Amino acid sequence: MKKLFVGMVVVLVGFLAAEVAVAEKDTIVIAHRGASGYMPEHTLEAYKLAIEQGADYIEPDLVMTRDGHLVARHDGYLSTTTNVADHPEFADRKRTIQGKTDWFVFDFTLEELKTLRTKQPRVSRGKQFDGQGTIPTIDEIVALAEGYKGKRKPVGLHIEMKRPDAFKQIDSELDKTLAALFSEISSKDIPLFFQCFDGNFLLKVGEISDVPLVMLIGGKPNMEGDWYELDIALEPFAGRVAGFGLNKALLVNKDGSATDIIDRAHSMGAVVHVWTVRNDQLHPMFKTVEQELKALYSMGVDGVFTDFPDTAISVRNSLKLLEPLIAND
């Protein structure tokens, strides 16, 4: 990846030197799994902190329990984010699926999951909040967002369905279940996006719901493995999705020049939300996370996923202060 990093330095520093790093008024800050840099991810506490820090959207990743409840977890397995291993009553639930040996959320009822306590999965982050939270349902998350009405600008939900194919046996009409959920959320005037890596499922939901769709794209390393390229085409989604959720590595070519992916998406009328910016996981080409955020804002992204929403908001606000100065140059 060395060539990619060096190339990104060239193009992104170039943007900054040109003083075009001004965040657009519609650039949104999306709290990735909540304020997960500070609190265990996908907990009400992490979402609450993100909202209080000013995040425009919080991001719940949804999976499904054995009895059909949608709950927030990034992974289908439980050992890294909960204390399930400390519960002897669940020892026999541990099994191996596709080479992964663990406890899986779809083997538990909601009542059983609520007996678990959450923990910080990243060893580099603080553990002081371990054991305090529980796995939240989507209903609890919606209620949390709704509770801030009138206290601040509306907080939105940027919902992702993880591996919808894995839950077909539990809910054969998951698309309809989600469509009903989105209708209920919209009726509460909560801003909403629905994102998924499964394009077919995403569009299937879009056929029965008015929810704005975001197609997630991770891309792939090219054959030389030193930069990323698209692994699916954007064009089939033109006019069918509201936006694309892109791996930020897709924004730069091998030679360090900016790709045309943002312009292509915008020409389709689609927004671009990029993932993921982390204060404690910098790319080698940046000395600070502020540099990385300024570079991304300058490239014209419409939204940034981050574990540390307060930092992204601070940088965005600092750039907005430059707008009058740049306009008068």
Instruction: Give residue-wise pLDDT tens across range 173-217.
Output: 999 999 999 999 999 999 999 999 999 999 999 999 999 999 999
Domain assignment of residue 102, yes or no: no
Contact 220, 247 (CB under 8 A): no
Residues 6+ apart with CB under 8 A from 270: 234, 237, 238, 241, 242, 243, 244
Confidence of residue 323 (pLDDT cuts 50, 70, 90): low
**Cβ atoms of 155 and 57 closer than 8 Å:** yes
Please check whether residue 128 lies inside any domain of the structure: no
CB 212 within 8 A of CB 185: no
Domain annotation covers residue 96: no
For residue range 246-268, list pLDDT tens digits in order: 999 999 888 878 899 999 999 99
CATH of the domain at 47: 3.20.20.190
The sign of the torsion formed by the CA atoms of 116, 70, 137, 243 equals positive
Tokens 């990619």 — which residue?
4
Task: Report the mean per-residue pLDDT for the chain.
Answer: 91
- Give the residue numbers spanning the domain of 71: 2-75+135-327
- Residue 148's CB: how many other CB atoms inside 10 A? 15
125-184 pLDDT, tens per residue?
999 999 999 999 999 999 999 999 999 999 999 999 999 999 999 999 999 999 999 999
Q: CB 283: neighbour CB atoms within 10 A?
A: 19
* Contact yes or no for 249/227 (Cβ under 8 A): yes
Q: Which two tokens stand for residue 221?
A: 């390393």
Tokens of 262: 């943002």
| Pairwise CA distance, residues 293 & 310, whole Å | 12
- List C-alpha distances in Å: 272 to 65, 140, 285, 328: 31, 28, 22, 29
d(CA 130, CA 118): 6
In a domain, 127, yes or no: no
Total number of domains constituting the chain: 1
Residue type at 285 in one-letter notation: M
Q: Let me know if residue 28 belongs to a domain.
A: yes
Q: How many CB atoms lie under 10 A from the CB of residue 157? A: 22
Residue 109 lies in a domain: no
Q: Of 76, 81, 128, which Cα lies nearest the Cα of 107?
A: 76
pLDDT in tens, 20-39: 444 445 799 999 999 999 99
Is 165 among the domain residues?
A: yes
pTM (two decimals): 0.92
The catalytic residues are 32, 74
Whether 286 maps to a domain, the answer reads yes
Identify whether the C-beta of residue 21 lies closer than 8 Å to the C-beta of residue 298: yes
